[in-house]
């Protein structure tokens, strides 16, 4: 990973040129803070090893769908990998050109497919025979030609969290290799579909690059077989999945992954697509939170903070552990081990145990690090909580890129039928 823009200056945690505590004074806690510089650095670090190849980096919008984040990456040259018509709208509004948009996902609806065809995107990554039939119907009705890539399931053990593995047999993603022939017949016999190539996605947050090599070698073998049979293959889509180091983890250098691509895929000499999400945005954001209460429970000291699992669900959903540091820390204070939990009424609303921090008091603030991927994009209003703000920093500038959406406004999205009798207790 690139050097972080989140660093202490005189004991105060800053993002680029701004102390995070200054942003707190404007927006209050909790909130997400994203660095434009870190997004730009991460894009360059990903794209540079593939210069000289016909390669396009399609940012996986699901990781962080904020328009400003998309715009920063689009300005760097990124395309977009989307999973719904809603993400298509966001990608276009964020400045991504249709020719750089690929559409993934197993459950594309008639409306999703129609929106993609009308926008003129680069390709639809089809994941089932049923989906191919629907693409053909929609394209026929619209009088459009559908560019289709087949996502194949390489049956590879990704050796990642079970909820992030997508390339082994029996999962919902991709077309099994033994169905590839049937899928190709449907496309090649269609007057409204054009075969673009093959797509593979082994899994998310891979910390071991061996599964990439295994999956890509299977993909290369399939491409050679198709070429031998006279089937033209314009591009391969290699998906995403390269992990980032959370809470002090040590991962192989990205150059090791790039070497696999150069060794296995580049010799085939066709266009290559990548779909990174976490790798571009994961370490570009922090979640700033404030201690509300401190309590003892058995031998534990527990810090209860104002950010919860509704704001950052990864620890509850995946057992993930993020580094957590104080906004003020001169490095001289004695450390103590604490548990950090949120206010949501669920036992799983915990960010973890055994964090070593300086002695803190109620009202002190902390930053939950590496929170840019699947943080704000997976947040909810569970327990009647607000959707928290997002702030973008660039140098000495900052702006709120999503305001706090309080419960009163959320209730405005709802209605009570006029035939219901509303009574209030006296």
CATH of the domain at 225: 3.20.20.10
Catalytic residue among 33, 76, 122, 345: 345
Q: What is the pLDDT of residue 166?
A: 42
Q: What is the pLDDT of residue 158?
A: 42
Final residue belonging to a domain, choices 218, 252, 279: 279
pLDDT tens-digit series, residues 216-232: 999 999 999 999 999 98
Backbone angles phi, psi at 85, to 5 degrees: -65, -30
* 189 & 243 share domain: yes
In a domain, 18, yes or no: yes
In a domain, 86, yes or no: yes
* 184 & 57 share domain: yes
Q: What is the pLDDT of residue 426?
A: 55
* 18 & 64 share domain: no
In a domain, 116, yes or no: yes
The reply to whether 33 belongs to the active site is no
* 388 & 333 share domain: yes
Q: What is the pLDDT of residue 155?
A: 67
320 near 205, Cβ under 8 Å?
A: no
d(CA 76, CA 171): 34
* 12 & 43 share domain: no
Q: What is the pLDDT of residue 425?
A: 63
Q: What is the pLDDT of residue 332?
A: 86
* 341 & 254 share domain: no
* 21 & 46 share domain: no
pLDDT tens-digit series, residues 286-312: 999 999 999 999 889 999 999 999 999
d(CA 344, CA 350): 9
Instruction: Give the count of domains, the chain.
Output: 2
Dmax over CA atoms of the chain, in Å, equals: 81
CATH of the domain at 297: 2.40.37.10
Task: State the Cα angle at 333 between 328 and 338, rounded to 5°.
Answer: 80
In a domain, 1, yes or no: no
Which of 97, 101, 57 lies closest to 83 in space, CA to CA? Answer: 101
* 252 & 298 share domain: no
102 near 125, Cβ under 8 Å?
A: yes
In a domain, 53, yes or no: yes
Q: What is the pLDDT of residue 250?
A: 87
In a domain, 426, yes or no: no
Structure tokens, 153: 């399931």
Structure tokens, 235: 């591009």
* 156 & 48 share domain: yes
* 300 & 161 share domain: no
* Sign of torsion over alpha carbons 402, 408, 410, 415: negative
Print the SS3 string covering the chain.
CCCCCEEEECCEEEECCEEHHHHHHHHCCCEEEEEHHHHHHHHHHHHHHHCCCCEEEEEEHHHCCCHHHHHHHHHHCCEEEECCHHHHHHHHHCCCCHHHEEECCCCCCHHHHHHHHHHCCCEEEECCHHHHHHHHHHHHHHCCCEEEEEEEECCCCCCCCHHHECCCCCCCCCEEHHHHHHHHHHHHCCCCEEEEEEECCCECCECCCHHHHHHHHHHHHHHHHHHHCCCCCCEEECCCCECCCCCCCCCCCHHHHHHHHHHHHHHHCCEEEECCCHHHHHHHEEEEEEEEEEEEECCEEEEEECCCCCCCCHHHHHCCCCCEEECECCCCCCEEEEEEECCCCCCCCEEEEEEEEECCCCCCEEEECCCCCCCHHHCCCCCCCCECCEEEEECCEEEEEECCECHHHHHCCCCCCCCCCCCCCC
* Sign of torsion over alpha carbons 345, 351, 356, 358: negative
Backbone angles phi, psi at 322, to 5 degrees: -105, 145
pLDDT tens-digit series, residues 360-387: 999 999 999 999 999 999 999 999 999 9
pLDDT tens-digit series, residues 332-354: 888 999 999 999 999 999 999 99
Residue 379: CA count within 13 A, CB half-sphere: 28
In a domain, 207, yes or no: yes
Final residue belonging to a domain, choices 279, 302, 320: 279
* 339 & 362 share domain: yes
In a domain, 423, yes or no: no
11 near 330, Cβ under 8 Å?
A: yes
Q: Which parts of the chain have pLDDT scores under 50?
A: 157-169
The residue range of the domain holding 264 is: 34-279
Q: What is the pLDDT of residue 4?
A: 83
Final residue belonging to a domain, choices 279, 299, 331: 279
* 131 & 145 share domain: yes
């Amino acid at each position: 990973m690139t050097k972080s823009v989140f660093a202490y200056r005189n004991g105060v945690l800053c993002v680029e040129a701004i102390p995070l505590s200054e942003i707190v004074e404007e927006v209050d806690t909790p909130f997400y803070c994203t660095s434009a510089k870190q997004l730009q650095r991460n894009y360059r670090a990903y794209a540079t090893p593939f210069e000289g190849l016909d390669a396009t980096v399609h940012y996986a919008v699901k990781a962080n769908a904020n328009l400003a984040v998309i715009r920063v990456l689009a300005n760097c040259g990124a395309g977009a990998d989307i999973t719904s018509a809603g993400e298509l709208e966001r990608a276009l509004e964020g400045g991504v050109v249709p020719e750089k948009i690929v559409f993934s996902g197993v459950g594309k609806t008639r409306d999703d497919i129609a929106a993609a065809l009308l926008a003129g995107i680069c390709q639809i990554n089809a994941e089932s025979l049923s989906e191919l039939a629907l693409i053909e119907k929609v394209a026929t009705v619209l009088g459009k030609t559908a560019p289709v890539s087949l996502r194949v399931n390489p049956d590879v053990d990704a050796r990642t969290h079970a909820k992030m593995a997508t390339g082994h047999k029996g999962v919902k993603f991709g077309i099994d290799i033994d169905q590839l022939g049937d899928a190709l017949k449907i496309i090649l016999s269609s007057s409204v579909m054009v075969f673009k190539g093959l797509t593979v996605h082994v899994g998310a947050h891979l910390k071991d690059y061996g599964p990439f090599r295994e999956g890509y070698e299977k993909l290369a073998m399939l491409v050679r077989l198709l070429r031998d049979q006279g089937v033209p293959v314009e591009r391969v889509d290699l998906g995403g999945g390269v992990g980032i180091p959370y809470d002090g983890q040590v991962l192989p250098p990205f150059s090791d992954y790039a070497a696999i691509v150069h060794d296995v895929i580049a010799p085939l000499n066709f266009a290559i697509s990548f779909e990174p999400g976490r790798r571009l945005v994961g370490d570009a954001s922090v979640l700033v939170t404030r201690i509300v209460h401190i309590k003892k429970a058995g031998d534990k000291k527990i810090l209860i903070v104002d950010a919860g699992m509704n704001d950052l669900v990864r620890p509850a959903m995946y057992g993930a552990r993020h580094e957590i540091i104080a906004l003020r820390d001169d490095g001289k204070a004695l450390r103590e081990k604490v548990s950090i939990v949120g206010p949501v009424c669920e036992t799983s609303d915990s960010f973890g145990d055994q964090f070593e921090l300086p002695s803190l008091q109620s009202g002190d603030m902390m930053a939950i690090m590496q929170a840019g991927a699947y943080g704000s994009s997976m947040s909810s209003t569970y327990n009647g909580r607000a959707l928290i703000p997002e702030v973008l920093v660039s140098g000495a500038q900052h702006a709120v890129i999503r305001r706090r959406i309080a419960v009163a406004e959320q209730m405005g999205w709802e209605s009570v039928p006029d035939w219901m009798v509303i009574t209030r207790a006296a």
